[in-house]
Structure 1
């Protein structure tokens, strides 16, 4: 009997050790491995030889005379994950990037200054709104020559090949692009002192608000078309403007938008809280990441609207959203998480 017990005791650890799976050894590790950003660490085992933003990457680009690829995103970004799967985990794409570029990954939540610089360059280069993932091509000194957002694999390869050829055959053209974009970014950030004797003109404010109101969707809320973003700062401004001007259209725009958003799919009807934006014009199909800064601003917006008009629906939205933040975005130590991943 003692032998049987001893055999069983010895055999159990053998079974456990045989059944334990060791974590797979990563095939690739790049310069992001020592970063603290969750977003950068998500890319630390890509075959792309990513660098964090810093002098090491810029010095490598200067020494090897290579263009920079500056890829900006954040950990909850759905299309950032898609482009990683399609392109940055592809060894053929990675090999091309490593051969011809110095590639930098930036977490926009960690470096909003870098994000703002290249986002502005993207808006100037494309003459339209830009978002994330954000991809800028830049000279070795960091000055952008062009930028875009998400690219499917085939298009990403084509764009990279174009800039490799252009830098090889017509580098002076890229230098002109960089000079123009740099000047544009600097001019947008420049504050011009007002002429002496300037006075406030309420008619100019009314004209600006009238142009703004013409862009809004009074049937479905928000701006016309899609995608639709919550835009809490816009509605806060319209609430304040209506309070001082008495403009009924401003209040109507706010009321329609707040009602439609909270009744639509962008608002989590079960768990509370707002998604980042709606992919359609009816607020029905959300882009599923939830951002702390969006929900914090929207709680304030609905609270201010409730102060103006004690709508019980607004109170319900406020309470449910605060419950969501407390439940899903609050850490055990009382600090807050910045977002919920769209792919979680």
Structure 2
């Protein structure tokens, strides 16, 4: 296909950047030489940040960046840089902070105008063409006529961007008490929607790390109310249109309060975390709904997001081509009542009741499948047993899936990101651990082998991205944190020492290259990365847990196995630096708060030694015991916990606290009774 325009983005691998490679705008990727040229030409920089599954990014591209009039102004007066936020979260974090300081809100597309040295002085999200032209013309004129005013503002803003990222090193390590944890959860719970789940607001985001902590808290504190809230939320999410009942997997968020109409993009990082969460919840409750969610979500990832190399792709777009061959959000996923009647035929009345093909499930003249009744309730209404109902519903959904194959699929973002693969790997590990399906372990090992082969650099570090055998970006702290966490988990379910060795080596590399010597936190970028206007320290848990909170948890786990390395002291210092936030903002620090429970309650090292170590290890792993780490060996292992534990002819389980062990037992049940 012949294109009228081609810019420098044609050399990139990111699908998002490639989508803009034929814009008339002279886009370039974020590179030191581009910033240097901006300085030489004394031109301000337009930094436009988005991602492939972003609906409004596509809208602004069509309205502004494909327009020749707009491009003429941008090319004449500015240096234009396009960034895939998923490839370069280090840059995105800084300019998102800047945008929020300038406007009070954020989002994507994120458009910032900056000085040639990268200091921002103007920002906005989606802007229509006329407003965009007007703003750029004014900014260009102001930069030429009154540069001192802009430079002063940008300098002040840069100072603010630096200051909001400061983390104070706390010299006193006062332990956060159980009563304070209880207060934090009580304060937090005022925002809970106890009827529909999630929070009392719209849109509704799923926030897996929030629910993961609350599940841990509810079981540790035997809090029935919090457990009920977690179950309500997990059930409503699984019932909702945010879960793809036909093809499996979760969309990004729902625009309403009942989890009905999603923003239809499907992200690997959401689905990896939710697989882990639902698997843990299944271990606690044995609720078959949760098991089904895990199965269907992994099925979706296997079918739609798995590369032949063993890596996992990033996302499916929210938009797809409708029958008029126009891009429309959700076109792939929604149904008309006429379609459903034709496809489902004799079971339509049953299906209609089950999935609310009525005013409750209607959306803009079509239907997004949503449940609001239990299987038992519907089965009773139609004179069926639950098994019979499930068979009929499964058959109907399979027919819908078959028909949906003929629709235009959403666009695929086929870049592979290390941190998101780490989250999905952890999800698969937890799914195998708590559900016991060997296929999940097979997928996990294939992915871990991919990370080991393709994403671990000869220098000892990690790469960030992968596509078609190519890697172009150094890893960020989140890449290390999620990979380490997943490798520790993979060791616990396989007892293959190399995964633990990789986790320790990557941890040591992180401590060497990412450490802030003042606060003992870890920077998001390594010490040999290209300089930005700030080295970010990420501490707030959001839709993905912060890289520092994941690392603090990793360090505590590794301390239990390598007590002489100082990992425990480092984890404690990191926790002390942020714990003042917990009482009033549990939601924003939920992954950190696991550490507060670990510190107040017993944390167990469980060692299994003998020829049946794998079978007994599997039985132990299936129990939900978040305050533990599991190690095992056929005979004498090379971990301190495994030494002097081997007794020929027996397989023994040792339950220990800080290396001090109870009398060994020979069954998983007896060991769990010791906890």
Runs of 4+ in 1 over 4 A off after TM superposition: none
Deviations along 1:82-130, whole A, 9 cap, x unmatched?
A: 11111100111111211222110111222121122212222333333x2
Q: Does 1:69 align with 2:46?
A: yes
Residues 88 and 234 (structure 1), Cα distance of their counterparts in 2 relative to 1, 3 Å cut = same
* TM-score when normalising by structure 1: 0.86
Report deviation, 1:203.
4.0
RMSD over aligned CA atoms reads 1.9
Residues 34 and 240 (structure 1), Cα distance of their counterparts in 2 relative to 1, 3 Å cut = same
Task: Report what 1:14 is aligned to.
Answer: none
Q: Does 1:98 align with 2:75?
A: yes
Match of 2:91, SS state, is: helix
Residues 261 and 159 (structure 1), Cα distance of their counterparts in 2 relative to 1, 3 Å cut = farther
Match of 1:151, SS state, is: coil
Task: Report what 2:101 is aligned to.
Answer: 124
Residues 89 and 201 (structure 1), Cα distance of their counterparts in 2 relative to 1, 3 Å cut = same
Deviations along 1:205-248, whole A, 9 cap, x unmatched?
A: 33333332222322222222222111111111111222233344
C-alpha distance in 2, partners of 1:340/1:200?
Answer: 41
C-alpha distance in 2, partners of 1:184/1:199?
Answer: 31
Match of 2:13, SS state, is: coil
C-alpha distance in 2, partners of 1:257/1:215?
Answer: 13
Q: Does 1:279 align with 2:279?
A: no
Task: Report what 1:263 is aligned to.
Answer: 239
Deviates more, 1:301-310 or 1:279-288: 279-288
Match of 1:105, SS state, is: strand
Task: Report what 2:36 is aligned to.
Answer: 59
Task: Report what 2:295 is aligned to.
Answer: 319
Residues 292 and 95 (structure 1), Cα distance of their counterparts in 2 relative to 1, 3 Å cut = same
Task: Report what 2:87 is aligned to.
Answer: 110
Match of 1:82, SS state, is: helix
Report deviation, 1:197.
5.5
Task: Report what 2:120 is aligned to.
Answer: 144
2:306 to 326, 330, 335: 330
Matches within 5 A, 1:168-179: 168-179=144-155
Residues 196 and 152 (structure 1), Cα distance of their counterparts in 2 relative to 1, 3 Å cut = same
Task: Report what 1:224 is aligned to.
Answer: 200
Deviates more, 1:307-316 or 1:181-190: 181-190
Match of 2:90, SS state, is: helix
Deviates more, 1:233-242 or 1:291-300: 233-242
Residues 206 and 72 (structure 1), Cα distance of their counterparts in 2 relative to 1, 3 Å cut = same
Q: Does 1:185 align with 2:164?
A: no
Count residues in correspondence.
Answer: 320
Task: Give unmatched runs, 5+ long, in structure 1.
Answer: 1-22
C-alpha distance in 1, partners of 2:102/2:162?
Answer: 14
Match of 2:122, SS state, is: strand
Residues 30 and 197 (structure 1), Cα distance of their counterparts in 2 relative to 1, 3 Å cut = closer
Residues 246 and 168 (structure 1), Cα distance of their counterparts in 2 relative to 1, 3 Å cut = farther
Task: Report what 2:284 is aligned to.
Answer: 308
C-alpha distance in 2, partners of 1:146/1:275?
Answer: 32
Task: Report what 1:291 is aligned to.
Answer: 267
Task: Report what 2:316 is aligned to.
Answer: 340
C-alpha distance in 2, partners of 1:192/1:268?
Answer: 44
C-alpha distance in 2, partners of 1:204/1:176?
Answer: 44
Residues 224 and 161 (structure 1), Cα distance of their counterparts in 2 relative to 1, 3 Å cut = farther
Task: Report what 1:26 is aligned to.
Answer: 3
Report deviation, 1:169.
4.2
2:210 to 234, 242, 261: 234
Deviates more, 1:117-126 or 1:262-271: 117-126
